[in-house]
Amino acid sequence: MAQRDAEFIRRWLEAAAEAVARDASRLTELDSAIGDADHGSNMRRGFAAVVATLADQPPTDPGGTLRVAGRTLISTVGGAAGPLYGTLLRSAGKALGDDPVVDDERLAEALRAGVDGVASLGGAAVGDKTMVDALLPAVSALPDYPAARQAAEEGAAATVPLRARKGRASYLGDRSTGHLDPGAASSALLIGALADAAAA
Ligand code: ADP
Ligand code: MG
Ligand code: MG
């Protein structure tokens, strides 16, 4: 089983930053249908800050890298997604402690703890039409990275017919149906970036 170090986490988050920058206008369009049209700019700003912070003062262990990244998202992104993704990374980082390398099973467990953190902060379960719909099946499939990518994409696509029960989109009630949830779409990008980092 592959061993993962701080450099691996940094490559993942850099790939995630590239993906959200590339797809920022699509994420904002999705958020304009059922939210306030800022998800792409929120994500782009937050992940650019993560990349800058990690380049400036790179922690030497994967847990520390995740904790710094999470803290950066929380402090730079207003709106729901910043604290939620920040909690995902911070809780995962806490679960890893300060070990210099971790294996894929340990990283998978840490990311599951991260998604638990998201669910308890936001109170969302699968089916509520949020990022949890993509994240939970994805981390359940880890450490099979290609399966996690597929699960995230399918989980995101499955939000289209759902009625939102959490977040801003829930204010729309039945009018939130028929649209892809923006946070589930960005989660699929983050998991795709993780799978890319693992395949590199
Ligand atoms: P805001 O809604 O504050 O403008 P964003 O547009 O950046 O924040 O993020 C919206 C996304 O955040 C939603 O598409 C959804 O996936 C996610 N989200 C919102 N509230 C919750 C929640 N309580 N639990 C989980 N995810 C949530
Ligand atoms: Mg928004
Ligand atoms: Mg907003």
ipTM of the complex: 0.99
Specify the pLDDT at position 90: 98
The pTM assigned to this predicted structure is: 0.98
Q: Is 133 in the pocket of ligand 1 (CB under 6 A)?
A: no
Query: Tell me, what's the pLDDT at 194?
Result: 98
What is Dmax (Cα atoms) for the chain?
48
Residues with CB under 5 A from ligand 2 (ion): 31, 35-36, 38-39
Residue 147 CA, ligand 3 centroid: distance in Å: 31
Q: What is the CA(32)–ligand 2 centre distance, in A? A: 8
181 φ/ψ angles, rounded to the nearest 5 degrees: -70, 125
Taking the CA atoms of residue 158, residue 160, residue 161 and residue 164 in that order, the dihedral angle to the nearest 10 degrees is: 100
Tell me which residue has its CA closest to atom 6 in ligand 1: 39
Domain that holds residue 92: 3-199
CB of residue 181 inside a 6 A radius of ligand 1: yes
| Domain at 163, CATH number | 1.25.40.340
Q: Are the CB atoms for 194 and 143 separated by under 8 Å?
A: no
Note the pLDDT of residue 78. Answer: 84
Helix (H, G, I), strand (E, B) or coil at 161: coil
Measured from the CB, is residue 182 less than 6 Å from ligand 1?
yes
The C-alpha torsion from 4 through 86 and 35 to 37, rounded to 10°, is: -80
The total number of structural domains that make up the chain = 1
Give the pLDDT of the chain (200 residues) as one tens digit per residue: 789 999 999 999 999 999 999 999 999 999 999 999 999 999 999 999 999 999 998 999 999 999 999 999 999 998 899 999 999 999 999 999 999 999 999 999 999 999 999 999 999 999 999 999 999 999 999 999 999 999 999 999 999 999 999 999 999 999 999 999 999 999 999 999 999 999 98
Task: Give the residue from 71, 133, 135 showing the smallest Cα distance to 108.
Answer: 135
Q: Does ligand 1 come within 6 angstroms of the Cβ of 168?
A: yes
Measured CA to CA, the distance from residue 130 to residue 182 in angstroms comes to 8
- List Cβ neighbours of 8 (8 Å cut-off, separation of 6 or more): 62, 197
pLDDT at residue 89 in the model: 98
pLDDT at 29: 98
Q: Is 153 in the pocket of ligand 1 (CB under 6 A)?
A: no
What is the Cα 152 distance to its own chain's centre?
A: 10
pLDDT at 1: 75
Looking at the DSSP bridge assignments, the partners of residue 102 are 4
Q: Is 45 in the pocket of ligand 1 (CB under 6 A)?
A: no
Pairing type for strands 3-4 and 102-103 reads: antiparallel
